[in-house]
Structure 1
């Protein structure tokens, strides 16, 4: 037992002496959380738009003023004719054009109907769709003001209630994903070079002749990174709460326990990569490039898994990050307990034991 504890202490000293490793372990996650948290958003603010007003009457002026008063749009220019719309889009000056038809106010009074065309730059489909929805919402509110007090024969009034994220803040969706990506990539990347480093430095022979069993070596390599990754997770959670105002509706203890399980899972995966890699460069590439795309694309971080083709939905089940994101959103946003996430927890636990088992077996082969 003393030898095992000494081995763990040696790993701690080695990590603390390596300033580059410490920067990767603590510096990069903080930068990434801040960068992802502020940069990744599906909300719009101060989008530059243009107005083409064929009518120029009192009603169109009221509508234009309402749009200008909102925080979502900024009227960049007024266009006098339709031929000027396409050049404005091509120059990248605007993202949308609001086109009022002729005699807008007269038609609205006499025919009870007038048309406003919303033209958007759909080179970015998501942004174009969001702009269109926001614009339609402002126009809908104005229409309700006009019809206030008027009784209609039949009315269907949908009332929407947005559970868990009523303000539709995109950061609430992205923070769990960013936390998952960072913990997975940093943890796996750091441990993936642990055994390959021993090979390249020529100290692998010491491990080969030591009385430590393969399982003890594997665990000894993981333990120091567990403690450091836990500190990392605490920093990320604190940034999420105090910088991005991310709520934690559920148990902090359960959140910590699930985060610890995922950290061990990621570290075990890194050790597995380390045992089958011949060099630090190979291990680094496998952990960074081999995990980054699957974690980002197939975990449900950015794109909903239900919208993917069936083969990709099946493949996503072997991505540990998918299950951890479900757990994080459940605890932080929905406030659920273990009774609702026990299946995802068992999946992560099973994957962790599998990674450790395969790593131990691969290490035994190298000992022979």
Structure 2
């Protein structure tokens, strides 16, 4: 029994002396429960909406106040024209707009009924349906309040308009998200084992003593996967367009350009992982565990980023797939050009350049 306890004690020592094992045992469960605890919810909070109040009367002000105090909405601003509504939706930051007609309160008092228009960005159909339901419930609550103090029943009708995706097809949200997930994970995973494989097979020593420039060794590892990823992208686009009815309303060359940026960024990250690890198993583990969860959680196609605490929203900004997801939806669904997504493009270019420079600098021209 004493020998058994000695071996048990030895195993505890092995566990506590290995940071990687401790990370898997304690770090990953803690990270998952925190992330999924905040993200896995059907409720949408703090979603940006705008109000177009042509009425500017007591009734519209009371409804706007109820929208402002709701935890589901963040009324960013009040605008005065439909043209401004269209511009706001093109930025991608606004999910919902509520329009009060100029005779809103007058119709309630004299005709006993009035109408409110609700416009939702249905490029994410689930979010659009949920936010529309929230806004409708607030309007209906106000209707009940005023009806209770009136001798005649008052009715407020809501005219719901879903833009970009009137039929609320889930493929509009699914395809861009899968594109981001597949391109990032495949490129990172494939390139992360490329240099490590050369180290393990012993061919890296031959490459380093050859006249070939070591920097070109790193770049040559990325070129085949870049070409194959573009082929993979083409297959995804063809299948999603022909079989699933996914539209491509914007520029196809711009779509390929933005996709190339994500591919280059992912390849650079994979090379950095490959240069920093000593075995293919470690490289694959870092690639899968380090990229799968952040890509699924922080891209925005599975869980609304607005639901997460501010700290996690900041963390999401360093995930390349988040910016790619925004650009692809803007191009494919909204038909926007580079003028509308130049900020996201600059961020992807900056990430790509940074990761490529770091991966090249981390490349060791001498094997220990």
Normalising by structure 2, we get a TM-score of 0.58
Alignment partner, residue 216 of structure 2: 216
Give the distance between the partners of 2:344 and 2:367, measured in 1 at CA: 35
**Displacement of 1:256:** 1.1
Cα deviation code 1:260-287 (max 9, x no counterpart): 1111111111111100011011111111
Give the distance between the partners of 2:313 and 2:228, measured in 1 at CA: 33
**Does 2:186 match 1:192?**
no
- Paired residue secondary structure (1:318): coil
Structure 1 regions of 5+ residues with no counterpart? 1-41, 43-125, 141-151
Alignment partner, residue 206 of structure 2: 206
Alignment partner, residue 310 of structure 1: 310
- Paired residue secondary structure (1:196): helix
Cα deviation code 1:38-70 (max 9, x no counterpart): xxxx9xxxxxxxxxxxxxxxxxxxxxxxxxxxx
Two-structure CA RMSD over aligned residues (Å): 2.4
**Does 2:283 match 1:283?**
yes
Alignment partner, residue 118 of structure 2: none
**Displacement of 1:212:** 2.8
- Paired residue secondary structure (2:159): coil
Structure 2 regions of 5+ residues with no counterpart? 1-41, 43-125, 141-151
Alignment partner, residue 170 of structure 1: 170
- Paired residue secondary structure (2:160): coil
- Paired residue secondary structure (2:181): helix
**Displacement of 1:323:** 0.4
Q: Is the 8 A contact 1:295 1:319 kept in 2?
A: yes
Give runs of ≥4 in structure 1 deviating > 6 Å. none
Cα deviation code 1:46-98 (max 9, x no counterpart): xxxxxxxxxxxxxxxxxxxxxxxxxxxxxxxxxxxxxxxxxxxxxxxxxxxxx
- Paired residue secondary structure (1:159): strand
Alignment partner, residue 331 of structure 2: 331
Give the distance between the partners of 2:343 and 2:268, measured in 1 at CA: 20
Give the distance between the partners of 1:322 and 1:196, measured in 2 at CA: 28
Alignment partner, residue 72 of structure 1: none
**Displacement of 1:153:** 6.6
Alignment partner, residue 80 of structure 2: none
Larger Rg: 1
Give the distance between the partners of 2:243 and 2:272, measured in 1 at CA: 35
Give the distance between the partners of 1:307 and 1:273, measured in 2 at CA: 31
- Paired residue secondary structure (2:165): coil
Residue correspondences, number = 225
Alignment partner, residue 342 of structure 1: 342
Alignment partner, residue 266 of structure 1: 266
Structure-to-structure mapping, 1:150-161, within 5 angstroms? 154-161=154-161
